[in-house]
Structure 1
Amino acid sequence: MRRTLIAAAAVALLGLAGCASPAADSGGSQTDASKKVTVGVIPIVDVAPIYLGKEKGFFSSRGIDLNLVAAQGGAAIVPGVVAGQFQFGFSNITSLMIAASKGLPIKITCAGNSSTGKEGADFGAVVVNADSPIRTAKDLAGKTVSVNTLKNIGDTTVRASVRKAGGDPDKVKFTELAFPEMPAALAGKKIDAAWVVEPFLSVAKAQGARVVAWNFVDTAPNLPVAAYFATTKLGQDDPDLVKRFAEAMAESSGYAQAHPDEARTVITTYTKITAEQAKSLTLPQWPATIDTAALGVLADLAVSDKLVTAKPDLAALLP
């Protein structure tokens, strides 16, 4: 089972969601001819609602012919949206804040996923080997911790865990490593700790790793992690399309939240995760709206951790 999990995780791409528009029924507005809409996504558990929504007809009923294109991460999706390769994209919130701070013309369309807010039952955590002397987040100071992207949502939320535990976050040594490589690197003691999300959290735990920090939970209750976004130009040129997409995503997220078994099943259609493996994954929350208070915490962390030079204009970034 362990080898199967590791093999499955190694091929599931990861880079690291509900919608700001109110949910609508599947009989919402529909155009006479469906409009082809391409969305850049990452093949991870976070985007299960959009695949489920496509399967259930929540997009087609609103005149949207949905085309989902898998990318390796937000680093490829953000420029793809700005260049017009994708009409919409999926990316973590911190990446979107950083992009907006650099003047990229993007705007969040609707929520993607959020933390469960439950310590011991979240979809992301910091793990160490079973025999590691590290017992709490405070002990991460002076240690090497892997994150999938430096100066992003991973290290800034891990810092929050260290700070909360009474440690010095500036003494943590972060190193960039792809999520699929982390369980093996941890087991081989090439790193002291790893920040992992599902399915790699399950992989690491299957190898005997133990959790020392639930970084999303430590950062803020129900922390918004990712969102769907578009260019500001699309919002100006075709506000009806943006509205219909947001409505379809709201329905999709609500359905996935209410039907976790179906969400687990659809995950097996766009990743290499098997149905048996999907049963044990901890799913994120898929809320209908973005928690703006928690979003403000991420914005403050982006400033204090020097990811941006000034606090992002959340009013301009949000729908």
Structure 2
Amino acid sequence: MKRLHLALAALAISSLSLVGCGAGSPSAASGSGGTSTSASSASSSNSQESSLKTLRVAAVPVVDVAALYIGEKQGFFNEKGLKLDIKFTAGSSVAIPAMMQDQFDVVYSGSVNALQAREKGLPIVAVAEGGRTTGVQGKDHGGIVVPKDSPIKTAKDLEGHSLAVNAVKGLHEAADRASVLNAGGDPSKVKFLELPLTDMAATMKSGNVDAISTSEPFLTLALEDGNRLIASPFVDVSPEFVTAVYMTSEQKLSADQQTYRNFNEALKKSQEYALEHADEFRAELGNFTSIDPEVAKKMTLTNFGWGFPEDAMKAAAEASKNAGIINDVDASLNGLVARDIQ
């Protein structure tokens, strides 16, 4: 417990900034008997609503979390006795300590951040996958892009050049280093620069960075502007690379394992539905992101999978270690996944 308090003190819990995001409301019940029937229907609806357990979810407005909203609309979470209260945060660095202070029950996070938190001793545990690579080179939701006339042809050619990532020592850098290694290059010879995803393409066009590591929808926009894709780094980590996870605390999981099992099962059903109904998946994005509907129609969607493949998780940890994000592969993986509810 002392260790937990020290870790929480080091994280700026006071900087938490939440933005509410509605998940839609159930359709009004229709009745043929006038006012009394409507009142009865409303009462029944309210009773059903009050019987659901509210799960407070911290998320970020990215493609993966569309599955949560799809699941809410389709009633998959309600079927499991759950009602989601989704709020957007600045990311796991504020959401994890907020969860430890009982402000959230579930936190969406990049998998590399989860590995890092676990290695540092934070008692967090992954209860469900958040998203995966498609596993297909050249057709993934993340990629390394260069200008059309660049001499850089492969990831190995990035040696001696600058590569923009949205966060130094983050998910993209870990994956990018794997791409350089797989191509026979030396990642230590690549200069990683931190830039917002929104600014990358323009910065590369101006010649201030040689290549960018980006993701959808910015990947599609960059390619439509005439740039070239040279690598699919998420695929280079592993064809089953789990890029994001949903986490809770060990304490919360131990106290109510069934609730998190229900969340896992409802989310899996939601993600399966999203994969089978790509048009609905794409349409949902406009409800909580600023992605242009026309871009949403063209972009490569996140893939989903379940069960946290051990080989893929180890590959992610090894890529994180190679990037200097973690120091101990075993420590970052030990107890990270709640295997009992997968």
Query: Which range, TM-score by smaller chain?
Result: 0.7 to 0.9
Contact persistence 1:31–1:62 (CA under 8 A): no
Which residue of 180, 190, 202 corresponds with 1:184? Answer: 202
Question: Which of 155, 158, 161 is residue 176 of structure 2 equivalent to?
Answer: 158
In structure 1, the residue matched to 2:113 is: 95
Aligned partner of 2:335 among 308, 316, 319: 316
Provide the identity percentage. 35
1:106/1:50 CA distance change after superposition, 3 Å: same
Report deviation, 1:315.
Answer: 4.4
Alpha-carbon distance change, 178 to 251 in structure 1, aligned in 2, over 3 angstroms: same
AA at the equivalent of 1:87? D
Q: Which one of 90, 102, 108 corresponds to residue 126 of structure 2? A: 108
Q: Which residue of structure 1 lines up, in the alignment, with residue 80 of structure 2?
A: 62
Check conservation: 1:92, 1:225, Cα contact below 8 A: yes
Q: Hey, what does 2:29 align to over in structure 1? A: none
- 1:77-103 per-residue CA deviation (whole Å, 9 max, x = no partner) reads 323323322210111111100011111
Distance 1:295 1:121 in 2: 21
Q: Secondary structure at the match of 2:335?
A: helix
**Could you give the per-residue CA deviations for residues 113-163 of structure 1, whole angstroms, max 9, x where no partner exists?**
100011111000000111211111011111111111111221111111111
Cα deviation, 1:268-302, whole Å, max 9, x if unaligned, reads 11111233221101012111332221111111222
Amino acid in structure 2 at the alignment position of 1:171: K
Report the structure number with the largest CA radius of gyration: 2
* Residue identity matched to 1:304: N
State the AA in 1 paired with 2:289.
Answer: T
Query: Which of residues 292, 295, 303 in structure 2 aligns to 1:277?
Result: 295
Residue correspondences, number: 291
- CA deviation map 1:19-75 (0-9, x unaligned): xxxxxxxxxxx9971122211111111212111111111112222221111123333
Q: Which residue of 2 aligns with 1:134?
A: 152
The code of the aligned residue for 2:328 comes to A
Question: Which runs of structure 2 are paired with 1:76-95 in the superposition (5 Å)?
Answer: 76-95=94-113
SS class of match (2:87): strand
Residue 322 of structure 2 corresponds to 304
Counterpart of 2:60? 42
The Cα of 1:236 is off from its aligned counterpart by 1.2
Task: Using structure 2 for the length normalisation, give the TM-score.
Answer: 0.81
| AA at the equivalent of 1:90 | Y
Cα distance in 2 for partners of 1:171, 1:115 equals 26
More RCO (CA 8 Å, sep 6+): 1
Tell me if 1:123 matches 2:141. Answer: yes
Stretches of structure 1 that go unaligned for 5 or more consecutive residues are: 1-29
- Which position in structure 2 is the counterpart of 1:240? 258
**Structural RMSD (CA):** 1.8
Alignment partners' CA distance in 1, 2:220 and 2:91 = 20
2:163–2:191 CA contact under 8 A, matched in 1: yes
Q: Which runs of 5+ in 2 are unaligned?
A: 1-47
The amino acid across from 2:278 in the alignment is: P
Deviation at 1:165, TM superposition (A): 0.9
Q: Which structure 1 residue ranges, 4+ long, deviate > 3 Å from structure 2?
A: none
Query: How many angstroms apart in 2 are the aligned matches of 1:211 and 1:270?
Result: 28
Match of 1:263 in 2: 281
Amino acid at match of 1:268: G
Whether the aligned pair in 1 keeps the contact of 2:173 and 2:323 (CA below 8 Å) is: no
